[in-house]
């Protein structure tokens, strides 16, 4: 196995840090070799707040992954999340010189640069420029303009950007270990790579990745990314709500949420209670099930409603045909698909990474969607351009960031 076939995805989440090791096969399939994880500390709402602690946790997770997959990890793809991440759509334009009318690679690169010549806040840096469609002399829907004849090349890009220093923090945390950072990927974009099939992307789909600290979303219409972003609300908030509402410690609330919680109201007996037991089995407090569910329901409903208002600022949600795909740790809450379906008025599914071989138990856990998605993203980028290309893009994206 040559080292270049090895891809490692690292997600520094709010509740856990997860490292997925995979290898690409010559036939283009991806195989998961091992998954390492460690509980996360020093991370709030998807951003590192305690550098030293977070670094230790990342180290733990990486060591765990190395042991489980029996490989040396040298470089990783890192997912970033956080409420600071924003996006917009922009069109770039290039006029071909008089003496030439065939579009070449350089023109495509130029139009991309042109599309990024927009003002974003000074402290922000570009994370992704994702091509939607090209237009050649006003002709719509061109997918690959190279080799076509025309005088004017335009391109629609979806541009994702975030606060430079915060992205740098994540990168630095990994670099100090020391590991090389191959690329930094917005987490919802990574998740979408494995959660959605190409067909679903074409039909139009909204991927909602509800993790511990953030809720990231990405919306595909006609196979192209149209909208994306992040809300700094996640499972942690739910746990916090439960802890405050029922007056129980956070650890207890977390356990209660994962083991008993549901966001469906009116589905339990009136007065039905859950007996909280501590580690020694001593029966402590009694908690009314409906109360617990109400707290979870209210938080999730609010999150979804906020998300709906956010995506409805642009018209693309109306063209979503395949529905909503919920993934991430919080998608394990009972009944979340019904709630999402009710609010967005379209079919909602809880999904996990699809069509991968190897450790299927890991694949089928929605908690790992992002980390596995990183592998697929990396694979796609590598196939697109050989290694040299990646460093080039990377160098361009993050020049001055290291």
Partner 1 sequence: MIQLSKNYSLPERQEEPIPIKVVGVGSAGSNALDRVLLDGMDKADLIAINTDVQSLASSVAARKVQLGRSSTHGLGTGGDPELGYQAAIESAEEIRQAIAGARMIFICAGLGGGTGSGAAPIVAQLAREAGSLVIAFATLPFSFEGKRRAAQAQDALSRLNEIANAVICFENDRMGDMVAPKAGIHQAFGIADMTISQSVRSIVNLIQRPGLIRIGFDDLFAALRSQNGRCLFGFGESDTDNRAHDALTQALKNPLMDKGRMLSEAAHVLVQVAGGPGMTLSEVEILMRELGRHVRDHTQIVFGTAVDGKMGNRLSVTIISSLASEDSIAAQDTSPPPAFLEQVEEPPPAPPTIDIVHESESAASLEPAPDDLIAAEAPPPPVPAPSIKKPAPRLIPPKKKPVVEKEAKPPKEKIVQAKQEVLQFEPVTRGRFEKSEPTIVEGQDLDIPTFLRKNIRVK
Task: Note the residues at the interface with partner 1 (CB under 8 A).
Answer: 44-45, 49, 83, 231-233, 236-237, 239-241, 243-245, 250, 269-271, 273, 288, 291, 294-295, 298-299, 301-302, 306
Nearest distance from C-beta of residue 206 to partner 1, angstroms: 19
What are 220's strand-pairing partners?
205, 225
H runs (alpha helix) in 229-288: 235-246, 250-260
Which of the 8 DSSP states describes residue 105? H
Compare residues 46 and 358 and give the one whose CB is closer to partner 1: 46
Nearest distance from C-beta of residue 288 to partner 1, angstroms: 8
Nearest distance from C-beta of residue 292 to partner 1, angstroms: 9
| Of 147, 68, 155, residue with least CA distance to 105 | 147
Compare residues 218 and 231 and give the one whose CB is closer to partner 1: 231
Compare residues 93 and 244 and give the one whose CB is closer to partner 1: 244
Contact 311, 219 (CB under 8 A): yes
Compare residues 180 and 272 and give the one whose CB is closer to partner 1: 272
Nearest distance from C-beta of residue 240 to partner 1, angstroms: 4
Compare residues 50 and 364 and give the one whose CB is closer to partner 1: 50
Nearest distance from C-beta of residue 241 to partner 1, angstroms: 4
Compare residues 56 and 301 and give the one whose CB is closer to partner 1: 301
In angstroms, rounded to a whole number, what is the distance separating the alpha carbons of residues 392 and 381? 12
Report how far apart the first and last C-alpha atoms of the chain are (Å, whole number): 30
**Mind giving me the DSSP string for 14-67?**
SSEEEEEEEEE-TTS-EEEEEEEEEE--SEETTEES-HHHHHHHHHHHHHHHHH
The CA–CA distances, whole Å, from 269 to 274, 283, 288 equal 11, 21, 10
Q: Is 122 exposed, middle or buried (0-12, 13-18, 19+ CB in 10 A)?
A: exposed
Compare residues 94 and 287 and give the one whose CB is closer to partner 1: 287
Contact 394, 63 (CB under 8 A): no
Nearest distance from C-beta of residue 263 to partner 1, angstroms: 12
For residue 103, give both structure tokens.
């579009």
Nearest distance from C-beta of residue 364 to partner 1, angstroms: 27
């Amino acid at each position: 196995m040559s080292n270049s076939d090895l891809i490692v995805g690292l997600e520094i989440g709010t509740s856990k840090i997860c490292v997925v090791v995979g290898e690409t096969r010559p036939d283009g399939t991806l195989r998961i070799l091992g998954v390492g994880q460690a509980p996360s500390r020093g991370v709030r709402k998807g951003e590192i707040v305690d550098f030293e602690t977070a670094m230790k946790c990342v180290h733990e997770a990486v060591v765990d992954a190395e042991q489980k997959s029996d490989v040396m990890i040298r470089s990783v793809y890192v997912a970033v999340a956080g409420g600071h991440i924003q996006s917009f759509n922009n069109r770039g334009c290039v006029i071909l010189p008089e003496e030439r009318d065939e579009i070449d690679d350089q023109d495509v690169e130029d139009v991309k640069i042109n599309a990024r010549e927009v003002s974003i806040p000074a402290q922000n840096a570009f994370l992704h420029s994702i091509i939607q469609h090209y237009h050649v002399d006003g002709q719509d829907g061109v997918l690959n303009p190279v080799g076509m004849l025309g005088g004017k090349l335009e391109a629609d890009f979806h541009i994702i950007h975030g606060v430079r220093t915060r992205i740098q923090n994540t990168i630095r945390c990994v670099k100090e270990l020391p590991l090389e950072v191959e690329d930094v990927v917005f987490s919802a974009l990574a998740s979408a790579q494995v959660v959605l099939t190409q067909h679903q992307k074409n039909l139009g789909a909204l991927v909602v990745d509800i993790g511990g600290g953030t809720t990231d979303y990405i919306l595909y219409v006609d196979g192209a990314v149209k909208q994306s972003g992040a809300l700094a609300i996640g499972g942690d908030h739910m746990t916090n709500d439960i802890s405050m509402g029922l007056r129980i410690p956070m650890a207890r609330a977390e356990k209660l949420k994962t083991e008993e919680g549901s966001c469906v109201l009116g589905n339990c007996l009136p007065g039905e209670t859950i007996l909280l037991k501590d580690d020694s089995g001593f029966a402590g407090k009694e908690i009314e099930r409906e109360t617990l569910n109400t707290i979870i329901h209210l938080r999730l409903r609010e999150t979804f409603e906020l998300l709906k208002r956010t995506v409805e600022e642009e018209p693309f949600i109306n063209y979503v045909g395949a529905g909503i795909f919920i993934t991430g740790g919080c998608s394990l809450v009972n009944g979340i698909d019904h709630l999402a379906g009710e609010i967005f008025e379209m079919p909602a599914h809880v999904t996990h990474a699809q069509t991968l071989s190897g450790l299927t138990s890991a694949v089928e856990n929605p908690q790992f969607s992002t980390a596995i998605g990183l592998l697929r993203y990396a694979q796609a980028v590598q196939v697109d351009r050989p290694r040299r290309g990646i460093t080039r893009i990377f160098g361009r994206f993050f020049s001055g960031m290291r």
